[in-house]
Amino acid sequence: MMRYAWIQNRNTGQIVKWEPWQYQLDLLDLFLTCNELVILKARQLGVSWLGAGYCLWAVLFQESAKVLFLSQGEKEAWDMVSKARFIWSHLPKFLRIDINHDTKSFIDFRANDCEISALPSTDKAGRSTDATIVWRDEAANHPYGEENFASIGPTIDAGGQLIDCGTILKLDANNHFTQRIVAARSGDSNAHFKFLGWRLRPVRQEGMTLDEWFDLRIKPKYTAFQIEQEYPETVDDALRPTKVRAFYDIDALEQMLMYVQQPLQGVADINSRNGIISIFKLPMVGEKYCIFTDPSDGKDDPHATIVFHPRTGEEVANSHGKVPADECAKIHDELVRFYNNAYNSYEVNATAGGKFAQTIELLDTPNRYAFRKGLPVESKPGQHGWWTSGQTKKDMRDGLEEATRRHLIIMHDRRAIEELREIIRPEGDEPQARFGGHDDFETAWGGGWQIKRYMPLSTGIRIKSSFYRTN
């Protein structure tokens, strides 16, 4: 690999010859000697490229070898296959065994009956496989890590190799990867444990020492909690109990996963826009529904629209993706009308909110909630929408937190549940999305849960949630 491997340097946008640092060579030795390996690491240490190269070597120089990459989702799993394919494509001709089949998730070779495949982490991923190597990348983020481990256990027992790799999730002490780390460190499992701190990489940016890079690039950008989690220097940094806690009840969110389901296919009268709109239940005659949208400009953050039944709290549809604000408004309007002229509102903050609101006015979307100074008022042209800031944002989050903890709502979309898992509350600070996360689903659900308190019934009675602001 040292002589012939080329990799992509995403930071510089260049294709470069792989030149290993000493810690990577030490890790290769562990790959070759350990049947079961657990690697806890800091970010950007080149371990994924190293793993892809090692797994490619296994299928090029063995007979009937099989490699299985498991990641949190399809896209992440495909990325490991893509790295292996890239290394293969830049090998000299005498080392490149001809590929037979080549897809995003699968490669096999004509000459030696070897293959590389990738799967997202599901409860049955890896079951009945006879893989030579199973590589679980960013193992802490696998939604079915424990179930995967049970599925691939027979493969390891029969002589295959399992490599778990990733950073830790400090907020989730019961995470499967954390349990694997603890067991490996204490000798309570057959796995060998290896920690890789951020200082192992000798050069982070040309012209800067490691300390300069850390002080100028990392400290100003991330909180102390994020640094401990993403860029730990020692294993104690990585495993130290944090003063940050999850804002939403993790156990309640875990239980909510049992309600996750796939959207209906081919729903008449609704264009899914290539999967952006998900319909879980069709509207029922005579039933009332509630809708809230967190719009986007289609560039940095995705929008989120939630449709739910106000009495049962069950999600019946949603929309999520990066589309311009005017398109978000058209989706919102379409779902409002489809769900029996659902009671609805939307965030009007920033430029995206303003453009969204303008389009909604032009569409004359029915049954909109009006909001002024914390009180619902009579609907008047140009006085609709929801301004999210200060106390309003707190009410939305506190109300949604209670609703999830008390199981007052039913979410069918795994993405929303996973997003709520990533909302943290640092000691002495406001709740916030964890390292690079979003709060689109949170805002849509939180806003919807608030406006349903004022949803008019045919009797004129308002539906109130169990959440009340206390001063």
Highest mean pLDDT among 178-182, 221-225, 461-465: 178-182
Collapsing DSSP states into helix, strand and coil, what is residue 38?
strand
Contact 164, 38 (CB under 8 A): yes
Using only C-alpha atoms, what is the Rg of the chain? 25
Task: Give the pLDDT score at 268.
Answer: 85
- Categorize the per-residue pLDDT at 339 as very low, low, confident or very high, splitting at 50, 70 and 90: very high
- Categorize the per-residue pLDDT at 377 as very low, low, confident or very high, splitting at 50, 70 and 90: very low
- Categorize the per-residue pLDDT at 459 as very low, low, confident or very high, splitting at 50, 70 and 90: very low
Could you give the dihedral angle defined by the CA atoms of residues 294, 295, 296 and 302, in that order, rounded to the nearest 10 degrees? 50
458 has pLDDT over 60: no
Q: How many CB atoms lie within 10 A of CB 173?
A: 14
Task: Compare 377 and 138 and report the one with higher pLDDT.
Answer: 138
Return the closest-CA partner of residue 161 out of 65, 64, 20: 65
Task: Give the pLDDT score at 98.
Answer: 87
Which domains are assigned to the chain?
6-242 (3.40.50.300), 250-463 (3.30.420.240)
Contact 448, 308 (CB under 8 A): yes
d(CA 109, CA 102): 9
- Categorize the per-residue pLDDT at 279 as very low, low, confident or very high, splitting at 50, 70 and 90: very high
d(CA 233, CA 72): 25
The neighbouring-strand residues paired with 376 are: 371
The neighbouring-strand residues paired with 164 are: 38, 136
213 has pLDDT over 70: yes
Contact 160, 130 (CB under 8 A): yes
Among 48-62, 97-111, 172-186, 374-388, the range scoring the smallest mean pLDDT is 374-388
- Categorize the per-residue pLDDT at 243 as very low, low, confident or very high, splitting at 50, 70 and 90: low
* DSSP states along 221-280: TS-HHHHHHHS-SSHHHHHSPPS-EESS-HHHHHHHGGG--PPPSS-TT---TTTTEEES
- Categorize the per-residue pLDDT at 366 as very low, low, confident or very high, splitting at 50, 70 and 90: very high
d(CA 67, CA 223): 37
- Categorize the per-residue pLDDT at 403 as very low, low, confident or very high, splitting at 50, 70 and 90: very high
d(CA 90, CA 96): 9
Task: Give the pLDDT score at 305.
Answer: 98
Task: Give the pLDDT score at 127.
Answer: 67
179 has pLDDT over 50: yes
Angle among Cα 131, 5, 130 to the nearest 5 degrees reads 5
28 has pLDDT over 90: yes
Q: How many CB atoms lie within 10 A of CB 459?
A: 6
pTM over 0.85: no
Task: Give the pLDDT score at 370.
Answer: 74
d(CA 294, CA 445): 9
- Categorize the per-residue pLDDT at 194 as very low, low, confident or very high, splitting at 50, 70 and 90: very high
d(CA 121, CA 283): 32
Task: Give the pLDDT score at 330.
Answer: 96
CA atoms 347, 349, 355, 357: torsion sign: positive
**Residue count of the chain:** 471
pLDDT, the chain, mean: 87
Angle among Cα 217, 241, 394 to the nearest 5 degrees reads 75
The neighbouring-strand residues paired with 17 are: 6
**Percent of the residues in the chain that have a pLDDT greater than 70, as a whole number:** 91
Task: Give the pLDDT score at 462.
Answer: 43
* DSSP states along 323-337: --HHHHHHHHHHHHH
Task: Give the pLDDT score at 371.
Answer: 60
The per-residue pLDDT for range 37-67, each reduced to its tens digit, is: 999 999 999 999 999 999 999 999 988 889 9
For strands 106-109 and 99-102, give the pairing.
antiparallel
Task: Give the pLDDT score at 128.
Answer: 59
Task: Give the pLDDT score at 151.
Answer: 83
d(CA 75, CA 302): 17
CA atoms 393, 399, 401, 403: torsion sign: negative
